[in-house]
Amino acid sequence: MLIVMKFGGTSVGSVDALKNVVKIVSDARQNGHEIVVVVSAMSGVTNLLLNAAAQAEVGHEEIAHQAKTEIAHKHAEATLHFLDHTPERDAVLAEINTLLDEFEALCHGICVLGELTPRALDVIGGLGERMNAPQVAAILNRAGLPAASIEATQLIVTDNCFGSAIPLIDETEANTQARLRPLLDAGKIPVVTGFIGSTEDGIPTTLGRGGSDYSATILGRALGADEVWIWTDVNGVMTADPRVVPEAHPISHLSYAEISELSYFGAKVLHSQAIRPARRVNMPVRILNTFAPDHPGTLIT
């Protein structure tokens, strides 16, 4: 079975969470499944990036340096635990630091111009995923799970509606089959950046906040995946917000129509557009808990 697994920010946001990711992927491989991993940025990173960009627009360029330091520390902590002092860790941190230098330079330009364009915002907003994918791939490799980091800008082609881009299905399917299928056939686990794509001219775009869910179902459809598993920090779709209603409990099964309606009216479990690619090809989607991986979660069909 081919499964696309998306791991959200909290699922990749700490050493303990990443340990769970490794076990989940390892167990699926041992069960004979082909796996594509889609990752969000580490929790909190996208907010730091976007806030720094907004502050740069109004002249507070120093916030970018503070964000850069905090993000670098967050990644360094995770890589040190899993990769120790190894060449692999050095390579991952060098890649992350290059992206952080790009971020700081972009914020400097925004500050000088006093303008934050939607195009610049998409470049900055997608940096967290671009930092995290090589990190997760290296961690999986170190655990004996052969993985390769892939940027979704090479896969998902979109229009130029920056901030909420719409995927171009035919072009995306062609790219995805050409780039991911050979990796899968070679026994590797592609680790793909969620949330981002690019225009036909190669300009980075984003799919809207929470768009890594959408990335997973887009890629699942393009690959003809058997299922998409959305790994989050709750036991599936709940009957109510458990922070407000303590007796709330998970719903075991929902239809595509039901989850679409819930997402439209503000339920945060799934990106509002994410179910569309799955629904078109009747591809099941599961909402699962990274921190309770044995819980059955919610099945959407």
| Tokens at 201, concatenated | 């001219």
Length of the chain measured in residues: 301
3-state DSSP assignment of residue 80: helix
Q: For a pLDDT cut of 90, what percent of the chain falls above it?
A: 90
Instruction: Tell whether the torsion through CA atoms of 259, 227, 131 and 234 is positive or negative.
Output: positive
Q: Is residue 260 very low, low, confident or very high in pLDDT (cuts 50, 70, 90)?
A: confident
Secondary structure (3-state) at 95: helix
Count Cα atoms within 13 angstroms, Cβ side, for 197: 32
- Residue 180 vs residues 138, 141, 227, 301: alpha-carbon distances, Å: 18, 17, 16, 25
Amino acid (one-letter) located at 153 = T
Q: What digits encode the pLDDT tens for the residues 233-245?
A: 999 998 887 778 8
**pTM passes above 0.85:** yes
In this predicted model, what pLDDT tens digit does every residue of 125-178 receive, in sequence order?
999 999 999 999 999 999 999 999 999 999 999 999 999 999 999 999 999 999
Regarding the domain with residue range 2-43+132-300, which homologous superfamily does it belong to in the CATH classification? Acetylglutamate kinase-like (3.40.1160.10)
Q: Is 147 exposed, middle or buried (0-12, 13-18, 19+ CB in 10 A)?
A: buried
- The DSSP H or E segment spanning 253 is strand 253-254
Q: Where are the domains of the chain?
A: 2-43+132-300
